Amino acid sequence: MFKKILIANRGEIAVRVIRACRELEIATVAVYSDADRAALHVRKADEAYHIGPAPATESYLRMDKILDVAKRSGAEAIHPGYGFLSENSRFAQACADADVKFIGPTPYSMEMMGSKTRARQEMEKAGVPFVPGTSRGLSSPEEGEEVAERVGYPVMLKAAAGGGGKGMRLVHTREELRSALESAQSEAQRSFGDSEVYIEKAIVNPRHIEMQVLADEHGNTVWLGERECSIQRRHQKVLEESPSPIVDPEMRRRMGEVAVKVARAANYTNAGTVEFLVDQHKNFYFLEMNTRLQVEHPVTELITGLDLVHLQIRIANGEKLPFIQEDVRIRGHAIECRIYAEDPDNNYFPSPGKITVLLQPSGPGIRRDSGMYEGWNVPMDYDPLLAKLLSYGTDRQQAIQRLQRALYEYFVAGIKTNISLFQRILRDADFQAGKLDTGYLDRLLANKDNGGPLQAPESMVAAIAAGLFAVLDPASAANRNGNATGMDTLRSNWKHRGRSEALR
Amino acid sequence: MFKKILIANRGEIAVRVIRACRELEIATVAVYSDADRAALHVRKADEAYHIGPAPATESYLRMDKILDVAKRSGAEAIHPGYGFLSENSRFAQACADADVKFIGPTPYSMEMMGSKTRARQEMEKAGVPFVPGTSRGLSSPEEGEEVAERVGYPVMLKAAAGGGGKGMRLVHTREELRSALESAQSEAQRSFGDSEVYIEKAIVNPRHIEMQVLADEHGNTVWLGERECSIQRRHQKVLEESPSPIVDPEMRRRMGEVAVKVARAANYTNAGTVEFLVDQHKNFYFLEMNTRLQVEHPVTELITGLDLVHLQIRIANGEKLPFIQEDVRIRGHAIECRIYAEDPDNNYFPSPGKITVLLQPSGPGIRRDSGMYEGWNVPMDYDPLLAKLLSYGTDRQQAIQRLQRALYEYFVAGIKTNISLFQRILRDADFQAGKLDTGYLDRLLANKDNGGPLQAPESMVAAIAAGLFAVLDPASAANRNGNATGMDTLRSNWKHRGRSEALR
Amino acid sequence: MVYEIIVDGKPHRLELEKADGLWECRIDGREIKVDAVIPRRDVISMLVDGHSYEIKREQTPTDLHLWVGSTRHAVELRDPRSLQSRRAATGDEKGPKKLVAPMPGRIVRVLVEEKSEVEAGQGIVVVEAMKMQNEIKSPKKGTVQKILATPGAAVNAGDVLAIVE
Amino acid sequence: MVYEIIVDGKPHRLELEKADGLWECRIDGREIKVDAVIPRRDVISMLVDGHSYEIKREQTPTDLHLWVGSTRHAVELRDPRSLQSRRAATGDEKGPKKLVAPMPGRIVRVLVEEKSEVEAGQGIVVVEAMKMQNEIKSPKKGTVQKILATPGAAVNAGDVLAIVE
């Protein structure tokens, strides 16, 4: 087994990997930027090295500095986490060149899956089901019109190198197609330096369901169940669960088998995720493969009882998978909330800053993977994911109940978080009925939040508490009068505006 | 479903039941003594009522006060937790008389199991395997000698009303028997007001393994797997796990079926635990039935994916069990540590007082059921259980690894806890090999603690940290010089003595 | 002690007096006995008529909010004897409004020029934080009096970015 | 700054100096550069030569312990310029010893009489706490000079129960 692993990441995922390493008695090496000296991953690692200023391009994305730390510290392997360099095949190659094991797939598999059109070509050869459309970039507007005619409107234009909704256009009629194609191509060029755009039949109100796979370096590949990821805002996943409310064992087996076929076709090794679009008739279509550990991997861990990071490390170490497909036992239901530093009352503006109070849930059925602590200053330089709160239950209803209970216990002051958003989702009738698709969250947010059951005497209770705080904790009361000038009014005005905008 | 439940308990179990109620949208009523106004269960409940001074006999054991609160608050049911009134059949009867549902078995079942000799008589009728011996109190020393001769020495004398090792005597030869019987009888009389003593063949180095059962009020009874509880100190369980390292599926099924037979013979309803002694040949003998939720119930929850408190409440509500025996799916491995306020370096003296720093573990595979918080003053009036830390793993090895990692993250200052004891157990070769019996912990503690791998530079690191704390946090440095007089020397002397005694 | 407390815009008058270890509260004409302890900083546990409330305090340099359960209440506390707080309370509703940064970040773009006319809700400055670009919008219709934001510069929460008259 | 620091009975001399955001430590003749931050009260994160140490502080009225990982170290800190701490440090090893309550509790029984002879380790007083009875034992062989414990009385941690000469 490796004696030392470098974790080329930060935040909750770095902490999660450090924990796995400690469990396996592997020493850990953290890297950190100027903004992260006091971050939890630095505190928890056995070693920690500074790699540059706050901007990721000058620190967490600097392959040379990270490989230099690996060399200095004697780390034998690098876990890239998610984001940053995790899907960068050049980094995987650079690790191999430096004789450091990259804990993930080979550069070859990463490259194949990195280009959507190339992936589509390879997967079509392997007989993987696709949304009808082209498997390569459009050479002309005429070709686009012809394909669109064949698959039927509405169609979706997508950038080959795309991600995050950039270079995407939904086209309803032939008349719109030409100008949409031009603008998608120029956006793709601007965003990715590559104007290649392809066309697909648009699936109306699809679900986004993905399948976890795991492959060792000896040719064994298994699937570990699906994750329902349809709840998204601005193409970012917000809440994930497993099993999906619509997937039965037969459909799960079929999706799993396709996912394994995808992985095999890419000579895939280590942990990966095959994403599918699912239409209203439960047809599923290959979307893309994520060649890394996903943010939402814990929901699969909870329903299978496996530890994916342990298994990633063992696979990278050359071990065989310790089980076969038939041994995988899916039991119960798991849901994950991504706790972001953002303000639900203010158009989801990011909310970095100092965490002044932090009360964290625990107890039956609750897992918390967190990168924050009370007193920590959440930097403004990175993505706003603070922690993941998960629940496990005998069934979906119990998982929802336990998660609601845990969210009730969760309290973060000093910065804003989206905890209230999850409370809203979990009490929503459509969510409880499992009626989900990728448009679900936009529809929910378009409605006015009734704020849940409102209790009349609460305002009086708050007033009494305010007085008692002032009497019993006068130090803080003094502090209160400190900066309170006219800005109060300004801020709250600005807030009300933000709030009413969010409700449009 | 009940609208409101009173929890007649305190500490972590009251918090655990309150959480279950919140999940089921049932309002909760806490009760508290003078010592517990700021306790976590009072903070977390929807309602809380004061029931008297700190001593339990004047508060948590006062049936009249608790039933009075039930009436005032309109609680429809009472959950007794464990300890206090949980196995008191008169309290169960008083609840029934007051038309409040007692969440547990009937007074009839509790009474039958409350007397060890009566339980033994009933269970022998039902064909439950017993340690050879008498099923009723000895009428004379001669009868004792005769039975001992028949079953073979060594034999164990036990008080019929016993518990906690009181009135128990191990007898190796005929010569010792008479005086041991006399002293056991008089101790039983002093401790329980009942001198009845019976005799059993002594099982040398037994394991203590128990089986969880669950019975609804419609005649359905299931077993949910065993718990290995052999690690005990002064007859108090310290660490529990499931599955037991020696129980295979066939033995589990046989124990489960006997446990169900026991429950049926007692007309048992709700959650209960059948305790067995297991000898070195894996023969198991009925020991007693605990007619309540056990402290260690979460290990069963983790391996079955069920919530026993939810199910207790549903059963008490008259619902049928939502599954049958064949639906119960045991997967993975779970271990529980009971975190006590006691000083492992000082003969396990209790250690109440103010918790000045509390760092709590979380992350993959970790469940924490806790009744403590930073700043809380642990009262001296109740038992020292502060929290339960559990791990779940794919297998026993992973459960151990995860628990070691979590214990490493756990830090409590201001009071002493037994966290270091668990670190010692978990790294012990016999424990890791599953070689356990009820004498295990005494043997472990009889050896000198090597303290795990010792790192030489640590002392220098501590010295530098002491200096930097003084510079960076001078307020606390001032505090340090406050009371530091000659007592330092006295205390540490006393400590060293305690330590060397513990090691004898 | 007497306080004027505004909760979500609604004023309450609160009188507090300690008696027999309890707090006697007179609020909006009602008399309520409260058993209160502070188990940790910024958390108060109150027992009122058997009901157990845990209220959490969120204090920023500019705002005070109290959370009762999962509901957040904006709170202003005024000691009627204090002139300073009374003055603050009368903060002008008309006149120039400051556009402040809602979070620390970096100025990416300024979308309007000084002296230009803007609508309420029109974007004025774009601040980047946590990999997201966020348009800070005008609180009112009017004229941009002054722009204090410079592209590339770092800002803290509460920093004034522009003034709209 | 210069400190004399005793860790688990072993003395170290520590010189601290801040330079370029780091702490230059001279300890027992070695020079070590330390990057230190206090992420929360009673916790210090130190980076030494790439190694990351998180040290936790446990401060009671009478003792100071620092935890490096899961190992607890008894620490005494002396500022050599302070006469007071030097005097404290020389605390008499002989002479009368106080028997103190190791935890808050209630006196259940006193097992010996004043002026009686006791062995080292002999039980003197029984204190009950957390449902357990705990025998507090003599720190030395000698005579019980004085018994200050009264059955039934509550005691706090550190209260003197008896004096053995």
Same domain as D75, residue D17? yes
Contact A8, A80 (CB under 8 A): yes
Nearest Cα to Cα of residue A440 among A202, A162, A208 = A208
The pLDDT, as a whole number, for residue B473 is 82
On whether residue C89 sits in a domain, the answer given is no
Indicate the residue type of B67.
L
The pLDDT, as a whole number, for residue A214 is 98
Rounded (5°) CA angle B135-B137-B143: 95
The pLDDT, as a whole number, for residue B328 is 97
d(CA C114, CA C129): 24
Task: Indicate the residue among C25, C58, C84 that finishes a domain.
Answer: C84
Number of domains in chain C: 2
Residue D70 to residue B341, Cβ atoms within 8 A: no
For residue C151, name the pLDDT band (cuts at 50, 70, 90): very high
Same domain as A362, residue A218? yes
For residue B369, name the pLDDT band (cuts at 50, 70, 90): very high
CATH code for position B149: 3.30.1490.20
- What tokens appear for B395 in the block? 């297998």
Contacts of D94 in chain B (CB under 8 A): none
Range picked from A139-153, A460-474, B35-49, B132-146 for highest mean pLDDT: B35-49
The DSSP H or E segment spanning C132 is: strand C132-137
DSSP state of B83: S
Same domain as B309, residue B232? yes
On whether residue B142 sits in a domain, the answer given is yes
The minimum CA-CA distance between A19 and chain B, rounded to whole Å, is 7
On whether residue D33 sits in a domain, the answer given is yes
Same domain as D63, residue D22? yes
The tens-digit pLDDT sequence of chain A (504 residues) is: 999 999 999 999 999 999 999 999 999 999 999 999 999 999 999 999 999 999 999 999 999 999 999 999 999 999 999 999 999 999 999 999 999 999 999 999 999 998 877 888 889 899 999 988 887 889 899 999 999 999 999 999 988 877 667 788 999 999 999 999 999 998 888 888 888 999 999 998 899 999 999 999 999 999 999 999 999 998 899 999 999 999 999 999 999 999 999 999 999 999 999 999 999 999 999 999 999 999 999 999 999 999 999 999 999 999 999 999 999 999 999 999 999 999 998 889 999 999 999 999 999 999 999 999 999 999 999 999 999 999 999 999 999 999 999 999 999 999 999 999 999 999 999 999 999 999 999 999 998 776 655 555 788 999 999 999 999 986 554 444 433 333 333 333 333 333 333 333
Indicate the residue type of B426.
L
Touching D: A residues 34-53, CB under 8 Å: 37-38, 42-49
User: How many CA atoms lie within 13 Å of B317's alpha carbon, on the beta-carbon side?
Assistant: 18
Considering chain B, what percentage of its residues have pLDDT values greater than 90?
A: 80
Q: Which domain holds residue B466?
A: 458-503
Length of chain D: 165
- What tokens appear for C9 in the block? 């815009």
Same domain as D78, residue D6? yes
Task: Indicate the residue among D33, D64, D84 that finishes a domain.
Answer: D84
The pLDDT, as a whole number, for residue C63 is 84
Cβ contacts of B151 within 8 Å, gap of 6 or more: B132, B133, B199, B200, B201
On whether residue B127 sits in a domain, the answer given is no
Touching D: B residues 455-484, CB under 8 Å: 455, 458-473, 476-477, 479-484
Same domain as C74, residue C101? no
The minimum CA-CA distance between B109 and chain D, rounded to whole Å, is 28
Task: Indicate the residue among B64, B87, B103 that finishes a domain.
Answer: B103
Same domain as C115, residue C76? no
Same domain as C105, residue C75? no
- What tokens appear for D61 in the block? 């009225």
Same domain as A234, residue A363? yes
Range picked from A499-503, B157-161, B497-501, D37-41 for highest mean pLDDT: D37-41
pLDDT tens profile B304-327: 999 999 999 999 999 999 999 999
The pLDDT, as a whole number, for residue A497 is 34
Q: Which residue of A has its CA nearest to B22?
A: A405
More confident residue, D5 or D85: D5
The average pLDDT across B77-96 equals 97
Contact A182, A195 (CB under 8 A): no
Bridge partner list, B383: none
The DSSP H or E segment spanning B228 is: strand B221-233
Inform me whether the pLDDT recorded for D30 exceeds 70.
yes
Quote the distance between the C-alpha of residue B80 and its chain's center.
15
Same domain as B183, residue B136? yes
Residue with tokens 């309520």: C32
Same domain as B371, residue B237? yes
Contact B87, B110 (CB under 8 A): yes
On whether residue B110 sits in a domain, the answer given is no
Nearest Cα to Cα of residue A24 among B433, B409, B405 = B405
The average pLDDT across C126-134 equals 87
A478 by Cβ neighbours in 10 Å (0-12 / 13-18 / 19+) ranks as: exposed
Same domain as A229, residue A189? no
CATH code for position D76: 3.30.700.30
DSSP state of B54: S
On whether residue A221 sits in a domain, the answer given is yes
Beta-carbon pairs below 8 A across chains A and D:
34
Q: Which domain holds residue C128?
A: 94-164
Residue C32 to residue A350, Cβ atoms within 8 A: no
The DSSP H or E segment spanning B386 is: strand B385-393
Same domain as C129, residue C79? no
Other beta carbons within 10 angstroms of residue B250's beta carbon come to: 8
Q: Touching check for D5 and chain A: CB below 8 Å? A: no
Q: Which residue of C has its CA nearest to B39?
A: C39
The minimum CA-CA distance between A465 and chain C, rounded to whole Å, is 7
Q: What is the pTM of this model?
A: 0.90
Number of domains in chain B: 4
The average pLDDT across B455-467 equals 86
On whether residue A110 sits in a domain, the answer given is no
Same domain as C21, residue C59? yes
For residue C94, name the pLDDT band (cuts at 50, 70, 90): low
The pLDDT, as a whole number, for residue B478 is 41
On whether residue D89 sits in a domain, the answer given is no
Is residue A58 helix, strand or coil?
helix
The pLDDT, as a whole number, for residue D94 is 66
Contact A313, A24 (CB under 8 A): yes
On whether residue A114 sits in a domain, the answer given is no
The pLDDT, as a whole number, for residue C107 is 93
For residue C86, name the pLDDT band (cuts at 50, 70, 90): very low
Residue D52 to residue A373, Cβ atoms within 8 A: no
The minimum CA-CA distance between C56 and chain B, rounded to whole Å, is 12
d(CA B268, CA B213): 9
d(CA B91, CA B109): 13
Contacts of A373 in chain D (CB under 8 A): 39-40
The pLDDT, as a whole number, for residue B452 is 57
Residue with tokens 């043997």: B443
Check B16, B227, B292, B424 and give the catalytic one.
Answer: B292
Task: Indicate the residue among D84, D114, D136 that finishes a domain.
Answer: D84
On whether residue C134 sits in a domain, the answer given is yes
Q: Touching check for C45 and chain B: CB below 8 Å? A: yes
On whether residue B124 sits in a domain, the answer given is no
Nearest Cα to Cα of residue A26 among A45, A49, A4 = A4
CATH code for position A381: 3.30.470.20
Touching C: B residues 86-145, CB under 8 Å: none
Average pLDDT, chain D: 87
CATH code for position C125: 2.40.50.100
The average pLDDT across B87-109 equals 97
Same domain as A468, residue A417? no
Same domain as B277, residue B407? yes
Same domain as D106, residue D55? no
DSSP state of A133: B
Same domain as A362, residue A317? yes
On whether residue B424 sits in a domain, the answer given is yes
Task: Indicate the residue among A164, A180, A201 that finishes a domain.
Answer: A201
On whether residue D60 sits in a domain, the answer given is yes
Length of chain C: 165
Other beta carbons within 10 angstroms of residue D98's beta carbon come to: 22
Same domain as A251, residue A141? no
Query: Is position A480 annotated as part of the catalytic site?
Result: no
More confident residue, B438 or B453: B438
Bridge partner list, D47: D35, D52
- What tokens appear for B467 in the block? 């200096």
Check A10, A292, A314, A424 and give the catalytic one.
Answer: A292
Same domain as C67, residue C101? no
Minimal Cβ distance to C50: which of B49, B374, B376: B49
**Minimum mean pLDDT range among A268-272, B8-12, D93-97:** D93-97
The average pLDDT across B2-16 equals 98
Rounded CA Rg of chain A: 24
Indicate the residue type of B70.
A
Same domain as C104, residue C71? no
Same domain as D142, residue D124? yes
Same domain as B405, residue B259? yes
The average pLDDT across B176-199 equals 89
Q: With helix as H, strand as E and coil as C, how does B395-445 read?
A: CHHHHHHHHHHHHHHCEEECCCCCHHHHHHHHHCHHHHCCCCCCCHHHHHH
For residue D125, name the pLDDT band (cuts at 50, 70, 90): very high
On whether residue D7 sits in a domain, the answer given is yes
**Minimum mean pLDDT range among A3-17, B439-453, C24-38:** B439-453
Same domain as A154, residue A293? no
